[in-house]
Amino acid sequence: MIPKSALVEELITPAAILAGSILFGVFFKKFVMNYLAKLAARTKWRFDDIVIEAVRSSVILWALALGLDIIVQTQGLSKAVTDLSSKALGVIVIFSVTVVVSNIGTEIIEYYKSVISGLASATSLLKNIIRATVYSVGILIILDDLHISIAPLLTALGVGGLAIGLGLQETLSNFFSGLQILAARQIQVGHYIRLSSGDEGYVEDLNWRATVIRTLSGNHVIIPNKNIASLIVTNYERPSPDVSVVFNLGVDYASDLQKVEEVTVEVARDVQRTVQGAKKDHEPFVRFNQFGDSSINFSVILRGNSFVDQYLIKHEFIKRLKERYDREGINIPFPVRTIVMNKETD
């Protein structure tokens, strides 16, 4: 039987090592990590803050694991006990690192949610995918560290992943197309777009599965993201939201073209300055471009602040121009065809 004094002496060293490791972990977390956090807060880069915050939560655990490992290696235990203890501590450390990496990944997604418009609806799914991936890799590393063959497991995961991929082909296609659209940021919520399929309207929602467009009539058009990725998209908000409003007109051949230009520009200028939605600093202009069948044709170019502003601009310009042309005696001719008939004589 071991005397009490000897037993106490044997426990003093491990207890001191254990207490020292805990104190070291507390010191490192409270002072070193806080100092690093303050340095990171001064930078514009957000990821260093995320990494430091994730690591901070595991510092004491790692210090404790280090202390336990020192105790195991220095106390003259049997090789079997030493190996078993080292493996157990290795599993704990690997798992804690896995948790830290998972937290870093999910915090990065949370950060991008506030940066990338439309990512909020896919945040929970992305977080779950990251957690599942990181924990799967962590478990495989633990099994390999324990010298457990992971080849059959990798084969099973590969076959299972292939089966799931084939079964969810449409869903995954929409998901990755949605990620591509969100990351590119060429289409965002609030933009007015027109697709080569003929659909057009405001982007009201952009998530991992589909893009929701609200038409001018107020209806929702829900388009799978893989279709959006394969269509030609005209974005009327890029690179600038203002839009040219073009009118194609014609006057009869007897008209004084100088007068036509002056009158038309006056009306266009009045519309440009007074109609809501018209770009106030734009100077409208006229360009004659064609000798038509029954008229001399020309274009009038105004400009609106956004795509939908063109409708009110067109409405007011047509009314005011018709009224002014009537007062000035300028005619917009109807299409005229001259038919020549040969009359046969007996």
Q: Given a cut of 80, is residue 92 above it in pLDDT?
A: yes
Share of the chain above pLDDT 90, in %: 25
Q: Can you tell me the mean pLDDT for 281-301?
A: 92
Q: Can you tell me the mean pLDDT for 49-76?
A: 80
Instruction: Report if residue 310 sits inside a domain.
Output: yes
Q: Given a cut of 70, is residue 125 above it in pLDDT?
A: no
Q: How far is CA 281 from CA 159, 228, 304, in A?
A: 64, 35, 10
222 has which bridge partners?
Answer: 212
Q: Given a cut of 70, is residue 53 above it in pLDDT?
A: yes
Contact 65, 88 (CB under 8 A): no
One domain, residues 46 and 147? yes
Calpha distance 58→79 (Å, rounded) = 29
Q: Which residues contact 313 (CB under 8 A, 6 or more apart)?
A: 245, 271, 275, 277, 278, 302, 304
On the 0-12 / 13-18 / 19+ scale of CB atoms within 10 A, 165 is exposed
Instruction: Report if residue 264 sits inside a domain.
Output: yes
Confidence of residue 259 (pLDDT cuts 50, 70, 90): very high
Q: Given a cut of 80, is residue 106 above it in pLDDT?
A: yes
Both structure tokens of 246: 């073009």
| Predicted local confidence at residue 167, as pLDDT | 58
Element counts in the chain: helices (H) and strands (E) = 11, 8
Number of domains in the chain: 3
User: 215 is in which domain, residue-wise?
Assistant: 180-235
| Predicted local confidence at residue 56, as pLDDT | 84
From 167, 188, 207, give the residue that closes a domain.
Answer: 167
Sheet strand arrangement including 210-214: 220-224, 210-214, 200-206, 192-195, 233-235
More confident residue, 241 or 206: 241
Calpha distance 29→281 (Å, rounded) = 60
Confidence of residue 190 (pLDDT cuts 50, 70, 90): confident
Question: In CATH, what number is assigned to the domain containing residue 322?
Answer: 3.30.70.100
Instruction: Report if residue 252 sits inside a domain.
Output: yes
Confidence of residue 87 (pLDDT cuts 50, 70, 90): confident
| Predicted local confidence at residue 214, as pLDDT | 92
Element (H, E) at 137: helix 123-145
One domain, residues 47 and 151? yes
Instruction: Report if residue 340 sits inside a domain.
Output: no
Q: Can you tell me the mean pLDDT for 33-58?
A: 82
Sheet strand arrangement including 243-251: 243-251, 296-304, 285-291
Backbone angles phi, psi at 10, to 5 degrees: -70, -30
Q: Given a cut of 60, is residue 232 above it in pLDDT?
A: yes
One domain, residues 12 and 92? yes
248 has which bridge partners?
Answer: 299
Both structure tokens of 2: 């071991």
One domain, residues 230 and 303? no
One domain, residues 144 and 192? no
| Predicted local confidence at residue 124, as pLDDT | 61
Q: Can you tell me the mean pLDDT for 30-57?
A: 82
One domain, residues 73 and 24? yes
Q: Can you tell me the mean pLDDT for 56-71?
A: 81
One domain, residues 128 and 148? yes
Both structure tokens of 101: 């990496």
Instruction: Report if residue 144 sits inside a domain.
Output: yes
What is the pTM assigned to this prediction?
0.55
243 has which bridge partners?
Answer: 304
Instruction: Report if residue 174 sits inside a domain.
Output: no
| Predicted local confidence at residue 150, as pLDDT | 67
One domain, residues 315 and 214? no
More confident residue, 199 or 70: 199
Confidence of residue 3 (pLDDT cuts 50, 70, 90): low
Instruction: Say how many CA atoms lie within 13 Å of 280 toward its Cβ.
Output: 2
Enter the DSSP assignment of 31.
I
* Mean pLDDT value across the chain: 81
Give CA 281 to chain center in angstroms: 34
Q: Given a cut of 90, is residue 209 above it in pLDDT?
A: no
One domain, residues 131 and 252? no
Share of the chain above pLDDT 70, in %: 84
Instruction: Report if residue 295 sits inside a domain.
Output: yes
More confident residue, 266 or 33: 266
329 CB neighbour count, 10 Å cutoff? 9
Q: Given a cut of 70, is residue 258 above it in pLDDT?
A: yes
DSSP letters spanning 269-296: HHHHHHSTTB-TT---EEEEEEE-SSSE
| Predicted local confidence at residue 145, as pLDDT | 78
Q: Which of 74-83, 100-109, 289-298 has the lowest mean pLDDT?
A: 74-83
Q: How far is CA 30 from CA 25, 79, 87, 163, in A?
A: 8, 36, 29, 48
Instruction: Report if residue 206 sits inside a domain.
Output: yes
Backbone angles phi, psi at 279, to 5 degrees: -75, 110
Contact 58, 94 (CB under 8 A): no
One domain, residues 230 and 262? no
Q: Give the closest residue to 285 by CA, choosing from 306, 274, 299.
A: 299
One domain, residues 60 and 196? no
Q: Can you tell me the mean pLDDT for 263-278?
A: 94
| Predicted local confidence at residue 275, as pLDDT | 93
One domain, residues 146 and 250? no
